[in-house]
Amino acid sequence: MSFRMDPNIIISEIDAHSEATGLKPTTICQKALGNARLYDRMKRRACKYAEEARALRAWMAANSPKEQSTGTLK
């Protein structure tokens, strides 16, 4: 069974916990996983993922399966 999670979900959960406890998100990651830099990396990856998803969707929309079967793939 595969488990996929939108990175924005855990980032939001960390942000909510940070707000409720007064701990910085980096402190939460440090205490939980021993990695204070994880929070910033997750935020950068989430942004990069969103950019890549937009580019992939645009390409797939411009290159529909019907175009592939007729040989007009761009």
> What backbone phi and psi angles, to 5 degrees, belong to 15?
-60, -45
- pLDDT tens readout for residues 17-62: 999 999 999 999 999 999 999 999 999 999 999 999 999 999 999 9
73 or 64, higher pLDDT: 64
User: pTM for this structure?
Assistant: 0.72
Q: Is the pLDDT of residue 63 over 90?
A: yes
Helix residue ranges per DSSP H, 1-74: 7-21, 25-33, 38-62, 65-70
